[in-house]
């Protein structure tokens, strides 16, 4: 195992506060009802356009792009920083890099926000790359994003693992021939992850970090 592809929200960090507040801002600006937190949490992970299409009332779904624009207006100012790393992530990434692994963020978040978040927490020093979607919607499909990352990083699928908390992470792994490891402390369920092809599940960051270290790094 060499390349460790890592989802961001729900895997490395908990950005629910920033996401929920930015969605609430967008809905308020559109003069639409603000959904309760419990309606938003299960949606975190998939592309933002998909989230707004789901949340908008019937008859308003054509305004999804407007919602995305308003969301990003607030998220780019303050929402991205309303965030914290899960316990064990900082030290775990340091261990992985020092052991010879290549940790790479592969997130459905726009790349520019992912880079800011990695820099805020100081984990960028342990990463060999940070990849995400583009603001115009390119790479909204995580299967396409992971395929792009494999090419850019010259990574062998057989020597890589994708770690994430949502079905999109596992589906991307399966389609690209990468082993998929699911985490259950994020926003997805164990059933969702297994149904999407997860090879195994982990309940804490420490547990998957330990599993990677035990597997040992390959040379490519």
Angstrom distance (rounded) from CA 60 to CA 53: 9
Please report where in the chains the tokens 């309606």 appear, as a residue: 39
- The alpha carbon of 111 is separated from its chain's Cα centroid by a whole number of angstroms, namely 11
- Active centre residues (catalytic): 7
Token readout for 63 is 């305004």
Beta carbons within 10 angstroms of residue 168's beta carbon: 24
Considering only CA atoms, which of 197, 191, 153 is closest in space to residue 174? 197
Encoding tokens for residue 31?
């003069």
Rounded distance between C-alpha atoms, residue 118 and residue 114, angstroms:
6
Cα–chain-centroid distance for residue 49?
15
């Amino acid at each position: 195992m060499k390349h460790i592809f890592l989802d961001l929200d729900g895997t490395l960090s908990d950005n629910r506060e920033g996401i929920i507040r930015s969605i609430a801002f967008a809905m308020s600006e559109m003069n639409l009802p603000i959904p309760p937190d419990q309606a938003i949490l299960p949606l975190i992970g998939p592309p933002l356009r998909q989230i707004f299409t789901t949340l908008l009332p019937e008859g308003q779904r054509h305004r999804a792009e407007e919602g995305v624009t308003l969301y990003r207006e607030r998220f780019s100012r303050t929402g991205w920083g309303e965030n914290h790393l899960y316990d064990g992530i900082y030290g775990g990434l340091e261990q992985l890099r020092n052991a010879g692994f290549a940790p790479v963020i592969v997130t459905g978040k726009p790349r520019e926000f992912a880079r800011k978040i990695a820099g805020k927490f100081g984990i960028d020093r342990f990463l060999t790359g940070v990849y995400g979607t583009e603001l115009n919607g390119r790479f909204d499909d995580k299967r396409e994003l992971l395929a792009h990352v494999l090419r850019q990083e010259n990574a062998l699928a057989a020597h890589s693992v994708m770690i994430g908390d949502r079905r999109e992470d596992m589906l991307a792994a399966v389609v690209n021939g990468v082993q998929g490891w699911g985490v259950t402390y994020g926003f997805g369920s164990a059933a969702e992850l297994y149904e999407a092809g997860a090879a195994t599940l982990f309940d804490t960051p420490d547990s998957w970090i330990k599993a990677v270290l035990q597997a040992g790094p390959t040379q490519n």
